[in-house]
Amino acid sequence: MDLYELIGVPRDAALDEIKRAYRRLARRYHPDINPGDRAAAVRFRVVADAYAILADPERRRQYDAFGLTATVFEGAGTFGFEGFDFSVESANGPTASTFGDLFADVIHETVGRGAEMGTDGADLHASLSLGFEDAVRGTEKAIALVRRDTCGGCAGAGVVPVAETTCPACRGAGTIRSRRGHMVFAKPCERCAGTGRQRHERCAACAGAGVVPCSQAVPLLIPAGVADGDRLRVAGLGHAGSRGGRAGDLYVTVHVGTHPLFRREGDDLHVTVPIGIHEAGLGARFEIPAFDGPARLRVPPGTQTGQRVRLHERGVPSRRDGRRGDLVVEFRIVLPAVLDERSKALLRGFGAINVEDVRAEWRRDAPRA
């Protein structure tokens, strides 16, 4: 509410003029003259408090400069009336409140909020699909994000400086008025922060938000050893904060694909390697390709299908301490198709020499006939 308008005097009115106007209103709304009229009682208190402010040179100066801030009520900050239930009851009887008292709770509520403070950006969540190999080795991947970035037009301030003019929103009053019932409510003009002057203009590029939505391809460094379901945090790559607020963080949940040969168990890699029947029987040495260079394998003589060797620290780098897991190789004997007569003869000869029953041990535990 505008106190001058409330009293019915121009803004440059002298103290005498304000006094006369106040007395006229006080007589009109005085409870003794309007017995039982609660609206008049409230009006009377409002006029009395408005007069108390305008009749005090220091408080009037404060009001002229900053509007109805709580400083005017010996507090600090501004207040708004949204949702405030103006109780007529409280203005009557021995518990009758003053204008300041009536709005004290509303004043306090908005003081702490700090209207000029920036807003921190929210965290941003995204997901990323990775190949098995990229996850083991680590890679750099660009991830497409739609995030709120700091506005380039105002560097995140939400306003841009302009030549000083009268605030067009409140026409210089510093307050915005609205009517509810018998009461005229006022709140400080947000556009000019109650000053009535406009030194800044809302940034057109971001409509005052200080941030603008943008789609970006953000390069991400994927550490070696990242596992399916891991969540990577990238500090500051969430939504940008507005008007000086700090940026949120980006959280990327990683989905790792499968590999046709290798699989992961924790930080260990498992792979099944086929070996020939002669390699199984006689033993062999050969290399297999692995993710960190070729791995030298030794097949012990007499190796069976399912037998394993463990190559220490040839697995996946641990995300905890960077130490590699192991590479676990399982052998599987693969018999080629025996088609030629010479191979058949060799195998018949092999059987004739090795007459021991390969199922003897098996038969011991078999069900009795």
Q: Which residues form the interface with Zn ion (CB under 5 A)? A: 151, 153-154, 167, 169-170, 189, 191-192, 203, 205-206
Nearest to Zn ion of 208, 317 (CB atom):
208
How many angstroms separate the CA atoms of 106 and 126, rounded? 40
Closest separation in Å from C-beta 57 to Zn ion = 24
Taken as a whole, the chain contains a residue count of: 369
Specify the amino acid at residue 358.
V
Nearer to Zn ion, 192 or 232 (CB): 192
- The minimum distance between CB 227 and Zn ion, in angstroms, equals 41
- Could you tell me the end-to-end alpha-carbon distance of the chain, in angstroms, rounded to an integer? 104
> Is the CB of 76 or the CB of 207 nearer to Zn ion?
207
CB 77 to Zn ion: min, Å? 17
Residue in the structure block whose two tokens are 């306090």: 108
Dihedral pair phi/psi, residue 128, rounded to 5°: -140, 130
CB of 185 vs Zn ion, minimal distance in Å: 16
Nearer to Zn ion, 100 or 153 (CB): 153
Residue 247: φ, ψ to 5°: -75, 150
Minimal distance, residue 232 CB to Zn ion, in Å: 30
- CB neighbour list of residue 38: distance below 8 Å, 6 or more residues apart: 88, 89, 91, 92
Question: CA 297 from chain center: how many Å?
Answer: 49
Residue closer to Zn ion, measured from CB, 158 or 315: 158
Nearest-angstrom CA–CA distance, 302 and 279:
8
- What's at 230, amino acid-wise? D
Q: How far apart are CA 93 and CA 302, in angstroms?
A: 105
Q: In the complex, what is the shortest distance from the CB of residue 191 to Zn ion, in angstroms, rounded to a whole number?
A: 5
CA count, 13 A, side-chain hemisphere, 59 = 18
Choose between 151 and 232: whose C-beta lies nearer to Zn ion: 151
